[in-house]
């Protein structure tokens, strides 16, 4: 078992800075927030994007994993927690589209887990 944290509460801090601090504090794993890049109001911790799933290439994904490994950190999962059952069809479609991008990113990173909400 590894002690880790979710990066979402660090919305104004880069992944590099979060990982430096996490490593120095003895953490061993990160669940990396992967919300779509956007602006405007959002609920607490929603909207944090430490990796842009829409534009990160497979090579960049592997570089991120390697950089974290140099800090003795692993990626326990990628996190994106919207409501995929939203009543608005267009909003729901955008959520599902982004979730698919996060799943592809996880595959490129060799990360076996994507954490999300089932909807409600």
DSSP notation for 7-61: STT-TTS-HHHHHHHHHHTT--EEEEEBPPP--S---TTTT-BSS-TTT--HHHH
Inter-residue contact 80 to 102 (CB < 8 Å):
yes
Predicted structure pTM score: 0.92
Distance CA 111, CA 109 (A): 5
Reported as a single tens digit per residue, the pLDDT across 47-66 is: 889 999 999 999 999 999 99
User: Could you tell me the two tokens for 67?
Assistant: 């950089």
In the chain, domain spans: 4-115
Identify the architecture of domain 4-115 in CATH: Alpha-Beta Barrel (3.20)
Reported as a single tens digit per residue, the pLDDT across 78-109 is: 999 999 999 999 999 999 999 999 999 999 99
Reported as a single tens digit per residue, the pLDDT across 17-47 is: 999 999 999 999 999 999 998 655 566 667 8
Among 104, 19, 21, which Cα is nearest to 67's? Answer: 19
């Amino acid at each position: 078992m590894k002690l880790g944290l979710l990066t979402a509460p660090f919305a104004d801090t880069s992944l590099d800075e979060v990982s430096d601090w996490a490593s120095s504090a003895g953490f061993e794993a990160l669940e990396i927030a992967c919300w779509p890049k956007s602006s405007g109001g959002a609920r607490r911790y929603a909207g944090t994007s430490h990796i842009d799933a829409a534009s990160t290439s497979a090579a960049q994904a592997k570089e991120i994993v390697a950089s974290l490994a140099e800090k003795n950190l692993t990626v326990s999962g990628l996190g994106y927690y919207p409501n995929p059952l939203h009543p608005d069809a267009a909003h729901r479609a955008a959520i599902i589209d982004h979730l698919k991008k996060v799943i592809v990113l996880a595959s490129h990173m060799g990360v076996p887990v994507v954490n999300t909400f089932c909807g409600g």
